[in-house]
Amino acid sequence: MDMVKSRAQLLQEGKGFNGVGFSRGFHGGNIFNDILAAGGGYKKFYSKIDAFLLRTVAYTTARVWSFCYFYDWINPDARRYARIDFYVYAGYAGGMMGGILSNPFEIVFKRMQVDEMYPINARRNYSSFLDGFVRTAQEGALFRGAMANGLKLGGLVAAAGGCYDWIKENMFFFFGPITLNRVVGTSVGVGVATALSMPFDAVATRL
């Protein structure tokens, strides 16, 4: 799904009708079928698994560590206060730092995902994540799009973590310790986080 999203963000660039992107890449189902039709079967979606794992480990570690650091600094007694503004401040600061620090992994992974979309003579053809990392470093582009990536993760962490914890804690007082608290908190957090982070994700991908 991440591969489909990245290719959709590039394919609809510059195409619009009344502010909505209508191009070959607008519908995710079309891109999914195009990737399958290109050969390789469903294994094709996992062909960049080394880059995906390294990217995920890098940005998850960076954003979680950064969020915890800033949250402990803003709110030393987390058991006493469940304030959404604390989560927003710490989330945005932590997400921004995590996005910038993990950008070298992100840019190599994105390039490997979309390489087949380009003409043969324009493809980078990274043989592995390490090869891509070295060649991107030689190009001096490891931190290209880092600010957009930081804003993306900032919005993601601030909205998801803040909404989830705030809603869960407040629903507890009305409904007690039931699973519904986590379900509602997660649903709202994911929805708000997606709305806030996706514009920056599209910019980062295109950069």
State which of 29-43, 72-86, 112-126 shows the largest mean pLDDT: 112-126
Q: What is the mean pLDDT of residues 124-147?
A: 92
Phi-psi region at 39: left, alpha or beta (left = phi > 0; alpha = psi -120 to 50): left
| DSSP string for residues in 72-112 | HHH-S-TTT---HHHHHHHHHHHHHHHHHHTHHHHHHHHHH
**Local confidence band at 156 (pLDDT 50, 70, 90 cut-offs):** confident
The pLDDT-based confidence of 103 (bands split at 50, 70, 90) is very high
pLDDT of residue 108: 93
Least confident of 12-26, 52-66, 70-84, 107-121: 12-26
Distance CA 141, CA 10 (A): 18
